[in-house]
Structure 1
């Protein structure tokens, strides 16, 4: 950890903040400071002036007011997974929602009310008790806030839509410290913006999600050689259109798993992670259909509770690794994209570095681009290029690899990408990421955050 000094805040001002919040305030010199300032992506080693560990919406309102009035940078942190490091800052205020993790499920209306500091593990556990689920991330420690407000990819997207498509309301603290409940009828402009506009418009203290009947699923990975024909057959599998099949394509190095022969550990390969939410009596058909994509090197595709499928990547990418990502959208998987996967997959820098392809067709296409801030409703796939290394030096050394990989994809993909896959050097792509919705988002930003308090994000400048 760095030992660079951080300027202290005026004790009188800090005392007033202490009087306004029930949660903990951690400052430099406190025993908990290094723990409180750490984020998932170790590449971002910042020293905030304070970390406010909020416990309720009142703490959030007081912290937003404090940062605005003192002219301090404000970083909002949920699960802390922001690859671009937006959950921390130097010399400013970190608003940590990690202690706001209450959940209430109503099985009759199929609704879950979820506080802003929850992770997808929290949500999946609470909803699974009722045989229900909603679209979430593929790593269980991911926070609900960043993923949902960016759009929200996951295994259930083809069947149920994106995470943001399943929002029915949010409680939002805006830049003036106001608490607003937003639905399609009340504060509907902010509700529209929160569905994909990221953290640009406020702090979501609570989400209400629509739930779907999903309990046990057929899930797990099937591994194949790194081969263009396998990927072409994969795109045929998705194009066949059974939306109950959420199948991610992965490209990387063979992980050290017992069902994958040891000779393939650390060697380039590709795989499909199956999540079949259809009836159990069709499991064998799905297994055979996926296995038919190519020579099977190893597989573990079994019945499991839905929450389990969202933990399969957890051990591969624990907190404290070094990440540098890029993202792209594509219509279909053109041969040029497939060729790039084969070329750059062969030089994947580490076992933790996995290129992931998320299908975003089906239910995602039944929402019009102008209906939510998330605009890429014509994309069939969202691509995450995610080199992940165990040291800072190795991560820096691999940045040219991912930039070259993205450049090879660029002629075959859309102009923008998914904001949650964008890194800190992608701020020039914000307009392309929102396409035709950018002008409306800018207008709303001027109205609700003219001073750009919420700027530590992929920023829509007022």
Structure 2
């Protein structure tokens, strides 16, 4: 630790000469250091030598050049929401975009320009002022950059495609500190790779998205049933979504009823299965589309109602706040066979923490109609993307950390015969290179490695779900 302290002092002196940087430089002796190094997943505790909080693209380029010149590990922070904690590194430099959150909407063109540190709540707030939206995360404090670069699943994806399907252009700082614009017409190979290949190719300082007419009121919300209804509910759900209209997005959540203010207190933490719906079309049409689901069995509580899209997008923020401890395992599923349903019903409620859960995202629709080779995203053929999420409070680590980690691993192992790939954004820190390849398939991975070799031949950007050049 003493040696590291000496290096930190030397680094403090060096940063006074970071050419071209006008943002804020934060070292270990800075009052904001612990805040600057904290990410969404409170289980991640890393200590960078330097956090370069950037004010714009020029700062990002300067920080990348500085890190390369001084042979420093580079981590890139957008929203800091990735479960693996890749937004922060030990003993290196964090290129921090968290102060770059501007969103500019052009309602006539139906587009939005979004800075690389923006959160999805920023995008929804700005675009919904014009009755527009694009596919984004289901938690408003999720970062735009990380979610998009991994593919970008969300409530609107069946009607409007993934976040990457709505990406029109990206401004990128590459590994040598250059700034390029990637689009269908400029650096098209880089543009292809950015749409699913993660943060391997540079730092995206701004995105330009296509927007669509959505809301401002949508028919949305969850319906909860008792855990013992899970097997029957999933069999019904399999048929219900089999021919669902594109306007209907659904997510199945298996765990407990969260203690939301709109839920009766006697239901809080009760084991339950929920189907959350978001109908992106006319509300009256949505009422008809979800009627059969709402009539199934005896729901514990039905919260589907006309609601502002912005409110719906932030409705579960309190169930996954910053600072809690998280451990994830993910897999794609080709379908909900009887065997898959049996495994899910058998394992979903074995978690020890009441905050742990599993989630099934229904894909298809517009996502499946995009040719697989059009983008680097590798899960278009999946019927469902699944995330198994161990969650516990920091003070409960002694009680829950090992148990929740083991639960998630056992659950994933039980589903192994049914794996159909994996969504790269659902990989945790202990998912190795093999699972990164699984996220893309061999052919796409090889093409990504070729693009990597062109834009980052030294693998400077490797603190991520890494693709080697």
Task: Place the TM-score, normalised by the shorter chain, in its bin.
Answer: over 0.9
Contact 1:55–1:100 under 8 Å retained in 2 = yes
What's 2:430 paired with?
Answer: 425
Q: Does 1:187 align with 2:193?
A: no
Q: Does 1:412 align with 2:412?
A: no
Contact 2:392–2:401 under 8 Å retained in 1 = yes
Task: List runs of 5+ in structure 1 lacking aligned partners.
Answer: none
Deviation at 1:5, TM superposition (A): 5.4
Contact 2:79–2:142 under 8 Å retained in 1 = yes
What's 1:348 paired with?
Answer: 351
1:61-210 pair list within 5 angstroms: 61-210=61-210
For residues 72-124 of structure 1, what are the alpha-carbon distances to aligned partners after superposition, in whole Å with 9 as ceiling and x for unaligned? 11010111101001011111001110111111111111100000000000000
Choose 291-300 or 93-102, whichever is displaced more. 291-300
Choose 389-398 or 106-115, whichever is displaced more. 389-398
The 1:364–1:4 alpha-carbon spacing in structure 2 relative to 1, beyond 3 Å, is farther
SS at match of 1:222: strand
1:283-298 pair list within 5 angstroms: 283-298=286-301
Q: Does 1:385 align with 2:413?
A: no
The 1:233–1:174 alpha-carbon spacing in structure 2 relative to 1, beyond 3 Å, is same
Distance in 1 separating the partners of 2:261 and 2:379? 38
What's 2:458 paired with?
Answer: 451
Distance in 2 separating the partners of 1:243 and 1:122? 25
SS at match of 1:426: coil
Distance in 2 separating the partners of 1:335 and 1:50? 52
What's 1:229 paired with?
Answer: 232
Contact 1:234–1:293 under 8 Å retained in 2 = no
Contact 1:120–1:144 under 8 Å retained in 2 = yes
The 1:419–1:27 alpha-carbon spacing in structure 2 relative to 1, beyond 3 Å, is same
Choose 191-200 or 237-246, whichever is displaced more. 237-246
Contact 2:255–2:358 under 8 Å retained in 1 = yes
Q: Does 1:441 align with 2:448?
A: yes
Q: Tell me the TM-score normalized by structure 1.
A: 0.96
Deviation at 1:370, TM superposition (A): 1.1
Distance in 2 separating the partners of 1:182 and 1:451? 21
What's 1:306 paired with?
Answer: 309
Aligned residues: 459
What's 1:212 paired with?
Answer: 212
For residues 232-255 of structure 1, what are the alpha-carbon distances to aligned partners after superposition, in whole Å with 9 as ceiling and x for unaligned? 211222111301011111101122
Distance in 2 separating the partners of 1:248 and 1:357? 5
SS at match of 1:209: strand
What's 1:397 paired with?
Answer: 403
The 1:5–1:321 alpha-carbon spacing in structure 2 relative to 1, beyond 3 Å, is farther
Once superposed, which parts of structure 1, at least 4 consecutive aligned residues long, lie more than 4 Å away?
A: 2-6, 258-263
Contact 1:349–1:387 under 8 Å retained in 2 = no
1:6-21 pair list within 5 angstroms: 6=5, 7-8=7-8, 9-17=10-18, 19-21=19-21
For residues 153-203 of structure 1, what are the alpha-carbon distances to aligned partners after superposition, in whole Å with 9 as ceiling and x for unaligned? 100010011101100000011101110001111100000000000000000
2:335 to 327, 332, 335: 332
Deviation at 1:352, TM superposition (A): 2.5
Q: Tell me the TM-score normalized by structure 2.
A: 0.95
The 1:286–1:261 alpha-carbon spacing in structure 2 relative to 1, beyond 3 Å, is farther
Contact 2:214–2:281 under 8 Å retained in 1 = no
Deviation at 1:212, TM superposition (A): 0.7
Contact 2:132–2:213 under 8 Å retained in 1 = yes
Contact 1:183–1:191 under 8 Å retained in 2 = yes
Q: Does 1:251 align with 2:257?
A: no
Choose 66-75 or 7-16, whichever is displaced more. 7-16
Choose 311-320 or 350-359, whichever is displaced more. 350-359
Distance in 1 separating the partners of 2:76 and 2:342? 39
Contact 2:15–2:25 under 8 Å retained in 1 = no
What's 2:40 paired with?
Answer: 40
2:276 to 254, 273, 278: 273
Deviation at 1:346, TM superposition (A): 2.0
For residues 305-361 of structure 1, what are the alpha-carbon distances to aligned partners after superposition, in whole Å with 9 as ceiling and x for unaligned? 111111121011110010110111111222222112211122233332221111111
The 1:426–1:3 alpha-carbon spacing in structure 2 relative to 1, beyond 3 Å, is farther
Deviation at 1:43, TM superposition (A): 1.0
Distance in 1 separating the partners of 2:12 and 2:130? 49
For residues 49-80 of structure 1, what are the alpha-carbon distances to aligned partners after superposition, in whole Å with 9 as ceiling and x for unaligned? 01111010000000011111111110101111
